[in-house]
Amino acid sequence: MNSTITLNGYACKMVADSSTEDFWSPLLGKPGIITSSLGSLVTLANVEKYRGLNTFGLSLARIYFTEGGMNPAHIHPCASKIVYLVRGSVYVQFVTTGNKLFAKTINEGEMFLLRIGLIHSQMNVGKGDVVILAALSSQNPRV
């Protein structure tokens, strides 16, 4: 992109120079290969990988788990997150700053909210692979 206009540190196109392709991305279309010993793979579509997200204030992740796989405890200091379970059964949990645990096993078609900055994790507790879609309230949620 050859724009001299930047916002949030990223180049911006003028409307006249934009096209449908600026708002489209195939980034989450392929599952990827899980090579982690934890049995999970997170593919994040944030502003770094999908420049069209600049100024939208959101990002999206697709998380894959093998049977028994987990996404270890982590935080997003810049975003809240909602997870939607596409396939499988997942134990999801977070801990508040007051050290209160919120945890539940969610099943296909269910959602769970995770507040900004709180420690959280997920684990595949069902049979077979798991797929989660996670929407985050920042174009760069950081981990």
**Residue 120, annotated as binding a ligand:** yes
Report d(CA 41, CA 65) in Å as an integer: 7
DSSP label at residue 22? G
Q: Which amino acid is at 76?
A: H
What DSSP letter does each residue of 41-90 carry, written as one string? EEEEE-TTT-GGGTTT--EEEEEEE-TT-EEEEE--TT--EEEEEEESEE
What gap in Å lies between CA 72 and CA 91, rounded to an integer? 12
Count Cα neighbours of 57 within 13 Å in the Cβ-side half-sphere. 2
Q: Is 54 annotated as belonging to a binding site?
A: no
Matching residue, tokens 């579509």 = 45
Residue 74, marked binder: yes
Binding residues for Mn(2+), by number, are 74, 76, 120
Give the annotated binding-site residues.
Answer: 71, 74, 76, 120
Which residues belong to the annotated binding site for oxalate? 71, 76
